[in-house]
Amino acid sequence: MHPLQWVLQVQRSLGWGPLASVSWLSLRICRAHSSLSSTTCPSPERQEDGARKDFSSRLATGPTFQHFLRSTSAPQEKLSSEVEDPPPYLMMDELLGRERKVYLETYGCQMNVNDTEIAWSILQKSGYLRTRNLQEADVILLVTCSIREKAEQTIWNRLHQLKALKTRRPRSRVPLRIGILGCMAERLKEEILNREKMVDVLAGPDAYRDLPRLLAVAESGQQAANVLLSLDETYADVMPVQTSPSATSAFVSIMRGCDNMCSYCIVPFTRGRERSRPIASILEEVKKLSEQVIRPPQPPKVLGLQGLKEVTLLGQNVNSFRDNSEVQFNNAVSTNLSRGFTTNYKAKQGGLRFAHLLDQVSRVDPEMRIRFTSPHPKDFPDEVLQLIHERDNICKQIHLPAQSGSSRVLEAMRRGYSREAYVELVHHIKESIPGVSLSSDFIAGFCGETEEDHVQTVSLLREVQYNTGFLFAYSMRQKTRAYHRLKDDVPEEVKLRRLEELITVFREEATKANQMSVGCTQLVLVEGLSKRSATDLCGRNDGNLKVIFPDAEMEDVNNPGLRVRAQPGDYVLVKITSASSQTLRGHVLCRTTLKDSSANC
């Protein structure tokens, strides 16, 4: 069911008219109770009684249908420095953070890391402060993941710990507010509020702009929620705040949501329909990042402070990008799917596609590496592969989630390709981009997976020889097609045994693939000190593999005769001397630039 339908259905079942948002819905529930008890929702914070009474009287002049429409269509062009106009039941200053301290905790994928930065950017503009100390926090927000049951269980456990923190909070301090953001808020909706009474705020992935209002409502002791999904929200105008100021790389969100409806996956239900961010705003963000300064621990001796050196374009199906934001974009030449691949949805027409975006982004700064994740194998037309091959600063690294090596299972998963089509694509990619580094996702023990299907997945791992892999045991999710139509019939212990086998084979093959780099000279972007040794530095090669090398003096190619030590954000050439399934080791030869580098493999 569409989330909007969900809201309306609950409203109808309660006999109400259209509502402003679910927060309004939860407030109305409180009012319904209050007519019995003549109070608003019970709250443990008695000292807020006055504020709540005042709030309740303002509630009587609650939002109109117009406000509902306004708050769901999230304007893209709004100035980010502006604070939202307050809804009729809140005062302007109640929308402000008034220096309350927010503690943000992120679970799950890179999209959630980016969402955390978006949420923080919005709250910062409303006058909240950020704290990294849980004990200091006035507001704790968990950015959550629903992809597998285990991910959700981690959040429930964390909520139990936070409950203790909330109960122990001295009365002399402002009450602690707890919020659940992201996929779990979207999937479970009011079930979270009912199960965990200590949760004050729920905000789905498209509702972060509403956080100041939701927190303002929560301040009065009410629970507040907005889990409406949007057809156009991309947070295009919200510049995420980089959480780690020393980072050499940044993530730039280019699209949200997913229309693929793979039968095992909850993402289309938690993150909604696929929509792309306008190219102009992506380019603007990449330009800003290229000019953003990294502050290394010690002042670098020659290059001076430098801009960020790596951007990863981010999206649920990053290469399905399609900017339709301007009418003339619809005349663009249409691009094909990868050969032998189909979609679960009706063919989409027009718009500026991923190859165009990649071309534009890679031109912003030739010294900035470009990566992208996570793509779908169906959207690798030749123009994308060609561009990756030709452009020095587009990394020769492709994530190609296969999910299974059995055509039968792939069909049950509704992936839109057979094993043969996938293998053909792999060969085509390897021919088009010599030296390309490949990674993949696999699920062990999907509904109906036989031993023979599993053997086929093992053989695919051997055939492709991925450099990196992400392997998971299947976890049935409610709402998905598999939940409604298939049987989760592979016993847990069999799933885990198959997963172990996949991990072992993947490691053996990745070690072999990575050992091909031994003896090569590779260009490495320095990240900083190695976590395991204070005398080693750590960086990433073009294929995104970790490279460890001793922190030693070296020559700077652009300043002959000068001896330098590598700093975060420097490009260095490293001679690779050994390799494992996850790391390369070597010794540093010189400092260089991406343009001038002479990496030999």
Would you report the helix, strand and coil content of the chain in percent, each value rounded to 5? Answer: 40, 20, 40
For the bound state, the minimum distance from the C-beta of residue 252 to ligand 5AD, rounded and expressed in Å, comes to 19
For ligand SF4, the binding residue among 193, 203, 262, 395 (CB under 6 A) is 262
For the bound state, the minimum distance from the C-beta of residue 473 to ligand 5AD, rounded and expressed in Å, comes to 7
Write down the residue that tokens 């709402």 correspond to: 479
Residue among 185 and 443 whose Cβ is closer to ligand SF4:
443
Binding status of residue 148 toward ligand 5AD by CB under 6 A: yes
Binding letters toward ligand SF4, positions 224-243, x by CB under 6 A: --------------------
CA proximity to 71, closest of 257, 189, 208: 208
Closest-approach residue to ligand 5AD (CB): 441
Could you tell me the maximum CA-CA distance found in the chain, to the nearest angstrom? 84
Binding status of residue 409 toward ligand SF4 by CB under 6 A: no
CA-CA distances (angstroms) from residue 83 to 59, 211, 425? Answer: 21, 11, 49
CB atoms within 10 A of CB 571: 24
For ligand 5AD, the binding residue among 417, 474, 506, 571 (CB under 6 A) is 474
Residue among 472 and 506 whose Cβ is closer to ligand 5AD:
472
Phi, psi of 260 (to 5 degrees): -75, -30
For ligand 5AD, the binding residue among 155, 265, 358, 523 (CB under 6 A) is 265
Burial group, residue 99, by CB count within 10 angstroms (0-12, 13-18, 19+): exposed
Looking only at residues 363 through 392 of this chain, which bind ligand SF4 when binding is defined by CB under 6 A?
376
For the bound state, the minimum distance from the C-beta of residue 203 to ligand SF4, rounded and expressed in Å, comes to 20
For the bound state, the minimum distance from the C-beta of residue 205 to ligand SF4, rounded and expressed in Å, comes to 13
445, amino acid identity? G
For ligand SF4, the binding residue among 123, 145, 178, 258 (CB under 6 A) is 258
Peptide bond into 13 cis (omega under 30): no
Binding status of residue 184 toward ligand 5AD by CB under 6 A: no
Residue among 229 and 265 whose Cβ is closer to ligand SF4:
265
Phi, psi of 211 (to 5 degrees): -55, -45
Phi, psi of 549 (to 5 degrees): -150, 150
Binding status of residue 268 toward ligand SF4 by CB under 6 A: yes
Residue among 26 and 403 whose Cβ is closer to ligand 5AD:
403
253 binds, among ligand 5AD, ligand SF4, none (CB under 5 to 8 A by kind): none
For ligand SF4, the binding residue among 56, 126, 316, 467 (CB under 6 A) is 316
Task: Write out the H or E segment, with its range, that includes residue 35.
Answer: helix 22-37
CA proximity to 212, closest of 231, 238, 232, 234: 238
For the bound state, the minimum distance from the C-beta of residue 227 to ligand 5AD, rounded and expressed in Å, comes to 20
For the bound state, the minimum distance from the C-beta of residue 415 to ligand SF4, rounded and expressed in Å, comes to 7
Q: Which stretch binds ligand SF4 (CB under 6 A): 174-182, 254-262, 389-397, 564-572?
A: 254-262
Sequence-ordered list of residues with C-beta below 8 angstroms from that of 54, at least 6 positions apart, any chain: none
Residue among 274 and 556 whose Cβ is closer to ligand SF4:
274
Write down the residue that tokens 């030999």 correspond to: 600
CA proximity to 399, closest of 459, 340, 313, 469: 469
Report the DSSP beta bridge partners of residue 251.
312
475 binds, among ligand SF4, ligand 5AD, none (CB under 5 to 8 A by kind): ligand 5AD
CA proximity to 154, closest of 115, 119, 106: 106
Tokens of 47: 């000292």
Q: How far apart are CA 397 and CA 290, in angstroms?
A: 21
Residue among 211 and 409 whose Cβ is closer to ligand 5AD:
409
Collapsed DSSP state (helix, strand, coil) of residue 210: helix
Report the DSSP beta bridge partners of residue 201.
179, 224
Question: Inter-axis angle of helices 354-364 and 279-291, to 10 degrees?
Answer: 20
Binding status of residue 317 toward ligand SF4 by CB under 6 A: yes
Looking only at residues 389 through 418 of this chain, which bind ligand 5AD when binding is defined by CB under 6 A?
401, 403
Binding status of residue 89 toward ligand 5AD by CB under 6 A: no
Residue among 273 and 585 whose Cβ is closer to ligand SF4:
273
For the bound state, the minimum distance from the C-beta of residue 401 to ligand 5AD, rounded and expressed in Å, comes to 4
Q: How far apart are CA 599 and CA 575, in angstroms?
A: 9
443 binds, among ligand 5AD, ligand SF4, none (CB under 5 to 8 A by kind): ligand 5AD
Taking a C-beta distance cutoff of 8 angstroms, is the pair 214, 201 a contact? yes
Collapsed DSSP state (helix, strand, coil) of residue 441: strand
For ligand 5AD, the binding residue among 443, 502, 564, 584 (CB under 6 A) is 443
For the bound state, the minimum distance from the C-beta of residue 480 to ligand 5AD, rounded and expressed in Å, comes to 7
260 binds, among ligand 5AD, ligand SF4, none (CB under 5 to 8 A by kind): ligand SF4
Report the DSSP beta bridge partners of residue 224.
201
Sequence-ordered list of residues with C-beta below 8 angstroms from that of 143, at least 6 positions apart, any chain: 104, 105, 106, 107, 108, 112, 115, 116, 119, 181, 182
Residue among 48 and 488 whose Cβ is closer to ligand 5AD:
488
Q: Which stretch binds ligand 5AD (CB under 6 A): 50-58, 389-397, 469-477, 501-509?
A: 469-477
Phi, psi of 473 (to 5 degrees): -85, 140
For ligand 5AD, the binding residue among 103, 341, 472, 549 (CB under 6 A) is 472
Binding status of residue 259 toward ligand 5AD by CB under 6 A: no
For ligand SF4, the binding residue among 230, 234, 260, 397 (CB under 6 A) is 260
Tally of residues, the chain:
601
Q: How far apart are CA 274 and CA 583, in angstroms?
A: 35
474 binds, among ligand SF4, ligand 5AD, none (CB under 5 to 8 A by kind): ligand 5AD
Q: How far apart are CA 284 and CA 209, in angstroms?
A: 21
Q: Which positions touch ligand SF4 (CB under 6 A)? A: 258, 260-262, 265, 267-268, 316-317, 376
Q: Which positions touch ligand 5AD (CB under 6 A)? A: 147-148, 264-265, 401, 403, 441, 443, 472, 474-475, 477
